[in-house]
Amino acid sequence: MFVDRAEIFVRGGDGGRGASSFRREKYVPKGGPDGGDGGRGGSVIIIAQVNADSLAPLIGRKFWKAEHGQPGTGANCHGRDGKDLIIYVPPGTIIRDRDRGNIIKDLTEHGQSVVVGQGGRGGRGNKHFATSTNRAPRETGPAGEGEARWLALELKVIADAGLIGKPNAGKSTMLSRLSRATPEIADYPFTTKYPNLGIVSLGGDHRLVLADLPGLIEGAADGVGLGHEFLRHVERTRVLVHLIEPFPTDGTTPKTNYEVIRRELELYSPILARKPEVVAISKAELTGSDEIRQQFQEELGREVLLVSAVTGAGLALLVKAISEALANAPKEPEMTHTLPTETVAIWSDSTNESMTDDSLDDSESLDETEARLEDDSEALDETESLLVDDSDFDDSEDLDDEPIILPMKPPVDSESPHG
């Protein structure tokens, strides 16, 4: 299930209590204070991870709490720090403070991270309070509470190019032909209810990520149809690929439908309307479609391609046009998704066919995150995720030192995600 919005409550762990203790040794009747400090509470950390493709794992559970720090003990023993709670989300996730409305972090790249629930500091043991006049203090420093707040997470798909157009324009079929993605395809409006991604490799190290986006109708900028749900995903694409049906079943014309989509883009955001655009008449296999293309091209005053996802006609020219548009497009946040091998295809100009390539599943390791995560690098090698419930935060429990990892999807390789 594709989920692109979620609200969760996060809470860092409380710091452990400082100990009030005194040395008790034979022949040392008046040993000084030796109470150790409490451990710091674990923090809640969100990391962008390419293997995560949806916010669905966050829907089933609203409350996420890191572990409390353990109390200090005598003999100057420091309490164990609480485990960090790590949440993996897809690149393109915007994290907001739900109540304040401010953006905490926009995670656009694989490996970016942010601490969203800071753990509390550990309390100080009584050894810190000894003075020249008070050699046996019983006082301890207070432990800090973990940061707590509600978060609103929103995923905006990041892609190089987005297929747009009215419902039933053939966008999903086109994506399945150019890549090895398998979106739902049917002959009724709004078959596509959420974005589908596919990778089109041009050979060598050159590839582009293509998104099949839900169809637009008039009034989309006001939320009609899938309106805002669609348009916010368009914001993260660098180039628009506008597919237009040659013979609309509702009696409209290609020019009218083109203008409807352009108007909705302009109403939603002038930035969208300024994005580079490739225009193509789809369903070239239908008789008379070329005449429609020529007429529409004259009306539009710019090049209009003629393509068919059924026969493959014009697809090589379409891929070339998209590549050229990307070369001249402004550099926005770079696409960092990698998809499973079965969704990857190489497009060959000579054969006009797509070919799978099992060698295209390479992925970059996570960049360095914060120093906090560096301390937990060995623990993050684990690929098995652990669920934690509220009973896991009892100070008396004997827990391991590894951070708690939510059950989203494990890192893409066996190495530590911190390089």
Is 214 annotated in a binding site? The answer is yes
Is 350 annotated in a binding site? The answer is no
Is 351 annotated in a binding site? The answer is no
Contact status, residue 234 vs residue 162, Cβ threshold 8 Å:
yes
Is 196 annotated in a binding site? The answer is no
> What are residue 38's phi and psi, to 5 degrees?
-80, 155
| Structure-block tokens of residue 301 | 């005053």
The total number of residues written for the chain in this structure: 419
Is 275 annotated in a binding site? The answer is no
Cα 242 from chain centre: 25
| Structure-block tokens of residue 346 | 């190489």
- The Cα–Cα gap between 126 and 122 comes to 13
- The Cα–Cα gap between 407 and 411 comes to 11
Is 194 annotated in a binding site? The answer is yes
Is 167 annotated in a binding site? The answer is yes
- The Cα–Cα gap between 317 and 333 comes to 26
Q: Which of 159, 263, 164, 272 is nearest to 216 (CA)?
A: 164
Is 156 annotated in a binding site? The answer is no
Bridge partners, 117 (sequence order): 44
Is 172 annotated in a binding site? The answer is yes
Is 283 annotated in a binding site? The answer is yes
Is 193 annotated in a binding site? The answer is yes
Is 356 annotated in a binding site? The answer is no
Contact status, residue 60 vs residue 74, Cβ threshold 8 Å:
no
Amino acid making up residue 83: K
Is 284 annotated in a binding site? The answer is yes
Q: Which residues contact 381 (CB under 8 A, 6 or more apart)?
A: 414, 415, 416
Is 308 annotated in a binding site? The answer is yes
- The Cα–Cα gap between 53 and 175 comes to 18
> What are residue 294's phi and psi, to 5 degrees?
-60, -45
Could you list the residues known to form a binding site for GTP, using ranges: 165-172, 190-194, 212-215, 282-285, 308-310
Could you list the residues known to form a binding site, using ranges: 165-172, 190-194, 212-215, 282-285, 308-310
Could you list the residues known to form a binding site for Mg(2+), using ranges: 172, 192
